[in-house]
Structure 1
Amino acid sequence: MPIYESSESDDETIPRVKLFGRERPMHAILGGGKVADVLLWRERNLSASLLIGVTAIWFLFEVVEYNFVTLLCHISITTMLVIFIWCMTADYFGWTRPKIPELLSNEHAFREVVSAFHWRFNQFLSKFLHIAGGKEPVHFFLVIVSLYIISVIGSYFDFVNLLFIGFLCMETLPYLYTKYENEVDYHAGKMTRRASKLYRRFDSRVLNKIPRGPVKEKKHA
C-alpha cells in the first residue's frame, strides 16, 4: 500500500490524520460488540439479513404503500400461520418445535445492544457540545456546512426514505471505510488542511478586523 505523502504549491505536507481525528480502531468506536460486528460485516449472514429485511420493509411502505397497521397485522397473521403449520408438521413427523431465536431471548445480547447505542449517543453528545463550544473552529465550520447539506437533502425525502438512507449508510459506510481506510484518511487530511487554511484566511481578513473594546484587567485582592 503506497504512503500518501505529497506537497502542493506552498510546499505544505498533507498531515497524516485519521478521519475526524479518531485514535481508536473503527470496531472500538462502534461499540466493539455485536452491533460493531454487524455494521462492519463481520457477521455476514446477520448483516445481509438485516439489510434485506429493512429494504423489504422500506419497499412495502414506499413502493407498495402499505399502511403500518395493515402491514403489522398481515405480518402477524403470516407468522402465526407459518408457526402453526411448522408445529403441526413437527408433531406429525416427530421434529423439533420452533424455538425463540437466541438473539431475542438472550437478555445479555439485548442489553449489549442497548448499552452500545447508549454509549454511542453519549459520545456523540459530548463531541457535539465540545465542537459547539468553539473548541475546534475548523470542525465547527465543517459541522455547520454538513448539517446544512443534510437539511437540504432531507427536504427532498420523506421521513421513511430518510430513515432508510440513514440505515443504508450505517450498513455500508463503516465497512467501506475500513476497507479503504488509507485512501479515505489521505483525502480527509487534505480537505482538513484546506479547511484550516480557509479559516485562517477568514480569521485574518475578517475576524481580526472586528473592533473590540479594551480588555479590563482583573483586580486581585
Structure 2
Amino acid sequence: MSRESAAPGRFFDILGGGGNVANIVLWKNKALSAGILIGVTIIWLLFEVVEFHFITLVCHFLTIMMIILLIWSKSSSLIQIRTPHRIDEFNLSESTCAFLFGNLSWLLIKFYDISSGNDFRLFLLTLVLLWILSVIGEYFSSPSLLYFVFLCLETLPAICVSFQGEVDYLAGKSTQDMKKLFQDFNSKVLDRIPRAPTKEKK
C-alpha cells in the first residue's frame, strides 16, 4: 500500500482506538448514538418542518425544564424519589475546560498557520473549500446544512471503518490526482509568473 493511502488508515486506527467521541461515531454504544441522532433529528424537524424560531424554542425548553425541576425539588421530600443534584455539582471540571479551550486554541493556530501561506497548496485548498461551502450555504438553510454535516460525522466514520480497504485505496488515488493537478497548476501558471531577479549578496 502506498504512503498516501496509509494516512487514512492511521486515522481510522486512531478513531477506532477508543474514547467517547469514537464510541459515538463508530456506533460502539448503539443506544447512545441512536439517542443523539434521534435528538438532533427532532431539533432539525422543529426548526425546518415546524418552523420554530431559535429564541422561541430555547425559551420553551427552559420553561419546561424549570417547571420539571420545581416539581422534582418540591416533591422529592414528599415522595420517596431521588433528590435533584446540588448546584455545585454542575460546575465544569478543569479538565473539561482545558479540553475545550485547548481545541479552540489549536483551531485558531491552525487557521493562522494556513493563512500565513507556509503551505501554499493547503492555502489554496482551504480557499476552494470555503468558497464551495459559501455556495452551498446559499441553497440550503443553516439548520439543514448543520444537520447534514452532523449526519455525515455520525455515519461516514462507521461506514469508512467497515470498508477501510476500499476507502484507503480511493483516498490514495484521489491524493495522487490532487498532487498531479497542483503540479500541472504550478508548471502552467505559477512558474510562468515573472519574478524580480534576486540581488546578489556582497
When normalised by structure 1's length, the TM-score is: 0.68
Identity of paired residues, percent?
39
CA contact (8 A) 2:12 2:161 kept: no
CA contact (8 A) 1:34 1:112 kept: no
Structure 2 matches for 1:4-153, cutoff 5 A? 15-19=4-8, 25-26=14-15, 33-79=19-65, 84=71, 88=75, 91-92=78-79, 94=80, 96-97=81-82, 99-100=84-85, 105=90, 107-108=92-93, 111-153=94-136
Q: In 1, Cα distance between the equivalents of 2:40 and 2:117? A: 38
Aligned residue in 2 for 1:9: none
Q: In 1, Cα distance between the equivalents of 2:200 and 2:118? A: 24
Q: In 2, Cα distance between the equivalents of 1:129 and 1:51? A: 33
Going from structure 1 to structure 2, the CA distance change for 1:186 and 1:134 (only over 3 Å counts) comes to: farther
In structure 1, the gaps of 5 or more residues are: 6-12
Q: In 1, Cα distance between the equivalents of 2:46 and 2:146? A: 14
Q: CA deviation digits over 1:132-191, x for unaligned, max 9? A: 333434433332322222111111122222332233333223333333333222211111
| C-alpha RMSD of matched pairs (Å) | 3.6
Q: In 2, Cα distance between the equivalents of 1:56 and 1:119? A: 31
Aligned residue in 2 for 1:190: 173
Segments of 4+ in structure 1 off by > 6 A? none
Q: CA deviation digits over 1:18-70, x for unaligned, max 9? A: 14996971367xxx743443333333322222221121112112211123344
Q: Could you say which structure has the greater relative contact order, defined with CA pairs below 8 angstroms and 6 or more residues apart?
A: 2
Q: 1:180 aligns with which of 163, 166, 187?
A: 163
CA contact (8 A) 2:117 2:123 kept: yes
Q: In 2, Cα distance between the equivalents of 1:218 and 1:27? A: 54
State yes or no: 1:165 paired with 2:165.
Answer: no
In structure 2, the gaps of 5 or more residues are: none
CA contact (8 A) 1:34 1:113 kept: no
Aligned residue in 2 for 1:208: 191
Q: In 2, Cα distance between the equivalents of 1:114 and 1:132? A: 27
